[in-house]
Structure 1
């Protein structure tokens, strides 16, 4: 994966790149000197920062501020469009977020990634770049992330669940595994992550479900693979969380 230091902005608000990555590709932990807008026109990415784990389905994007350490992995083949953006245009420095991508924003991104590195800032290309920045600021956040703890013991638990969302071990089992009492585990988990263990695990399962559905898996197989006992229970929970049924995310 190409990094921003290879592409100086040269007094332009952004530059765009397009690339294709195979299933299983991992770009190890790193950061950029510029803010970064990662958009997968097809395929599903995972992005992990020190504080948050994101899943980015197709037609969504993740904003990473300058200097944010992160690792990117591709669940399947990914068509990636990347914008490196001058940090001066970051309206919320230090904050990562997943964004919805409208058809209009998608069209602008696909146009900008074709621009030469030193595009005409005063002409059509420059006007499109500024408009694209305005559109990014207008996009609503999307709920495809979970917070990550800083306590190494809780990190161990959370990483295991992210790796296998169907893991059914309860608080008692996890507490024994990492050498905590149940009471300490419960208190520390909620204090660090702002939610209880059950809700956090539910969010991980739903994020994994979005990823699998976008990869073409059936609702039934996804429900079982992320730990639900039946497709109906999974569908009900999915609808409550996202406001729409899982069928919306199925690739046909």
Structure 2
């Protein structure tokens, strides 16, 4: 990894700007800033396929995408997911950089069974189903103590796919101070959690949710894109 960093110092230097030295604790601020930029560089290299040598024997992304397409078709036929409207192909202007052999640019929908913002609930003091709001989503997990309840009488208005399942990605779509926070729902009791309208649910298909978790903030300005 050290070689990858030193060989790509142009990426590091292009991301650095002069930071104000005013105020107390300047040294600590500079140190924290350096660590932050180093983390960003490591993520940058990983996303571009430059962090470690590429194994030519690895299965190409095209094979995985074919498997995902077959699985989607099966789930649609069984009525477990809805058929997604096709999106336009990614054009050259949308591709931020070149990819290693075997990698592909795809839209997030291509590798997800479900992407949808939650819905505004009818709240209650008690109930069977809790609501994940933007305040519940933290960078280090979920704070369900802040989750309110859906009124039991309104639960029938929720389609089956709106109930959160294990490995769902929950991404804050809006919210002052909370927008952009994202995390993976590790475990959940069936039909016990839903998301409110400020939270986007991403349900990857045959893809490790933690891969999307780390890659998505990098592509936050173009949220429909991801690299495989």
Q: Normalised by the shorter chain, which TM-score bucket?
A: under 0.3
Which structure's residues are more often strand, by fraction?
Answer: 1
